[in-house]
Amino acid sequence: MSKLKTLFLMQVKEKIDFSFLKSKKKTTFKVIFSILGFAVITALAYVVLFLCQYLNLFSAINHIPISVMSVVFFIMFILNLLTCTVGLSKTLYYSKDNQILITYPVNANALFLSKMLVYYIYEVKKNFSFIIPVFFAYGLISSLPFLYFIWFPIMITIFTLIPVLFGAILSFPVYFILRFFNRYPIIKVILLMLILAGVIALVVLAINAIPEDINLIRSWSVVSQAIRNFLSFFSDKFFVFYAITIFLCGRFEGMQSVLFTEYSYIVLLIMLAVILVLIGLNYLISRPLYLKMASKQFEFDSGKTVKRNNVARNGFLSSCINETKKALRDTNVLSTTLATIILAPISILLLNTIYAAINTRMMGEYLAISFNILIILLFALAHNINVSSIYSKDGEAWILNKTKPCRPMELMLPYLCYNFIASTLIVIASTSVFLVSTNLGSGNCVLIFFILLFLVYAHIIWSAEIDFLNPRSIKSQSNVNPNEVKSILLTFAISLLSFGITIFFLLDGMSGVWLKLFFFALAFLVLRCWLFYYKARIMFKEI
């Protein structure tokens, strides 16, 4: 038991950052910020539910039906199950610490159990930061009894065992599928392409299905009826989730909410039985497989070698080519780029099709244009968040660049080459769709393209600057890279500010709006470039 405890503590410290416990001040801050975070999510969920209730979105009377929460619960369960399956297949079979853990003088069962426990704790922690606040908001808006606020967290803590245990069983076939794909990457690519093509086709079909004239006010009764029909369909067909939600939240009898009924005990018993069965299945299937696979090596297959010749190039060009090659050979980077290039224009198309169908006033037109800018920027900037660790991710290789006879800029700019190219493609794709859907004139089109491009480039340069000024080890204990958090904040700040400024300028009248924005964006880019150059020149020596 003590060995299990040691193993558990050792791994849980790796998975969850407990460094704040070392100082009282940090602990206090952490507790305060956690409570604040919980309160903020609860408040946001409350606002959303309040608006739904206020607009009578789900019910004719001022009320949020339990079936709505069962849909929410279902979605969260599916997402949880997916993350658990993928997460556990990595934790159980691909984790590098397996190589060390199996050498320890501990019972193999304890090893497996410790891994599962750590993952379970991690999942419970995740639930406390999302599912519980959302359901608390529901409890507040529906004036559920005080006991609900104790009952729900306890039950959800127990219920979390189901996706974790189920995920552990599913991780077994997933592991084999992943191995298969690793062995035959071409099949993986083809399959991905097929899925992608299918998704695109579906989305385009869905967009085409949008009626040419949407009048929400006129058709509200139809829409509202459709929503209610869907909820009732869900309650019928997905009765299990509906029943679990009632078990967790209670049921309304008249205007009174009743938390416990005889029905609750039956559900509780079934839930416990399911958990027991899943534990048994895990013991029989996942545990032996884990013990077998944990000791396996996952080395790369060198594949077929093609002899090449040496090529002499200009140093800067060579750096640019190599950095682009590195990015293209990284499936994560490439898939993110491809997904953004496809998703951004589709979203723009969807947005504009809906807007075109809605009869809007001038203010609506302005909002539609500004939203287009916002969405393109959000996609394009989010794509470049990885730049905030672009130098750090190379670790010592990046530091060793300092021994090369090159100026700082000659070494730093090539790293951004791929992101510049990919971002340009994303902006071209999204802007083309945006401009085809609106009648802004060719001059304005060119200006909008450059405005977006300048803002995206400025963000890339700013993110890179964050990284070289505060290099963070990729292997750092915490899962959250503070540089990436900064870059995400910049993404939102730049996008929202651009959105706000566009609306402001549009409100003053259409003439000269894009020219003004063009100069703003250009000035911003020039400022960021200058700061990047200035800081790099001075700080490069000290990195």
Partner 1 sequence: MNYIFFGAFLLLIPILFFSLKKFILKRINLTLKIFSIFLALCFFMRYFATDTSLLENVVGLTYQNPYSTSFECFMVTLLVWLSIASVVILCMLPFFKYKILRNFAKTFCLIVSILNIAFMEQIIYSYTGTYEINLCGAFFAIEVAVSFLYSIYIFATENYFKIPKKELIEMAIALPIVLLLSVPPFVPQALFGNFGSMGTKDLSFYHRLYLYLTFIFLIGMYFLLKRKMKDKEYNRMALLYISLVGLISYCYDYDFARFLEPTRWPLHLCNTAMFIIPICLMFKLEKLFYFTLFINVLGAFLAMLIPNYADASGFFTPSIVRFWTNHSLAFSMPVLIILLGIYERPRLKHFKYSMIGFLIYFLLVLIINAWFTNYDINVDFFFINSDFIADKLGLWAENLRDNFVWSFTISGLTFTFYPLYQFLFFLVYVVLGLGMWFIYAFIFQIQDFYLKLEEKNKKYKLDEHALCVKYGVKGVYEAVNKNSIDKLCVNGVYKQYGNSKYYSAYDVNLEVKAGEIFGFLGPNGAGKSTIIKCIVGIQPPTKGSIEINGYDIEKQPLFAKEQFGFVPDHYALYENLTGREFINYIADLYGVDKKSRDERINKYIKILALEDAFDNKIKTYSHGMKQKVAIISALVHNPKVWILDEPLTGLDPNSIFQVKECMKEHAKNGNIVFFSSHIIDIVEKLCDRISIIKKGRIVASTSLEELKAKKISLEQYYLNIINDDQIGSKAMRVESKKEKEEVPASKFFAKKIKKGSIVKENYTTNEFEVRNKK
**By the criterion CB under 8 A, which residues form the site for partner 1?**
299-303, 305-308, 310-315, 317-319, 322, 325-326, 329-330, 394-397, 399-400, 402-407, 504, 508, 534-535, 537-539, 541-542
Cβ 407 to partner 1 shortest distance, Å: 7
Give the H/E segment covering residue 251.
strand 251-253
What is the per-residue burial (b if ≥16 Cβ within 10 Å, else e) of 369-392?
Answer: bbbbbbbbbbbbbbbbbbbbbbbb
With tokens 């320890």, the residue in question is 104
Nearer Cβ to partner 1, position 284 or 399?
Answer: 399
Nearer Cβ to partner 1, position 292 or 407?
Answer: 407
CB-CB contact of 171 with 286 (8 Å): yes
CB-CB contact of 209 with 202 (8 Å): no
| Maximum separation of any 2 CA atoms in the chain, in Å | 82
Nearer Cβ to partner 1, position 21 or 527?
Answer: 527
Nearer Cβ to partner 1, position 226 or 489?
Answer: 489
With tokens 């159990």, the residue in question is 113
CA angle at 328 for the pair 324 and 329, rounded to the nearest 5°: 120
Nearer Cβ to partner 1, position 19 or 470?
Answer: 470
Q: Is 333 exposed, middle or buried (0-12, 13-18, 19+ CB in 10 A)?
A: middle
Nearer Cβ to partner 1, position 253 or 299?
Answer: 299
Cβ 86 to partner 1 shortest distance, Å: 23
Residue 501: name the closest of 517, 512, 525 by CA: 517
Nearer Cβ to partner 1, position 168 or 327?
Answer: 327
Cβ 161 to partner 1 shortest distance, Å: 38
Mention every residue, 6+ apart, whose C-beta is less than 8 A from residue 488. Answer: 382, 385
Q: What is the DSSP letter of 285?
A: I
CA angle at 422 for the pair 323 and 314, rounded to the nearest 5°: 35
How many residues can be counted in the chain?
Answer: 543
Nearer Cβ to partner 1, position 281 or 334?
Answer: 334
Mention every residue, 6+ apart, whose C-beta is less than 8 A from residue 169. Answer: 278, 281, 282, 285, 286
Cβ 200 to partner 1 shortest distance, Å: 29
Cβ 91 to partner 1 shortest distance, Å: 23
Cβ 466 to partner 1 shortest distance, Å: 12
> What is the rounded CA–CA span in Å between residue 136 and residue 143?
10
Nearer Cβ to partner 1, position 134 or 390?
Answer: 390
Cβ 530 to partner 1 shortest distance, Å: 12
CB-CB contact of 543 with 468 (8 Å): yes
Cβ 529 to partner 1 shortest distance, Å: 16
Cβ 503 to partner 1 shortest distance, Å: 11
Cβ 458 to partner 1 shortest distance, Å: 18
CB-CB contact of 412 with 391 (8 Å): yes
Strand partners, 258: 251
CB-CB contact of 474 with 11 (8 Å): no
Nearer Cβ to partner 1, position 14 or 508?
Answer: 508
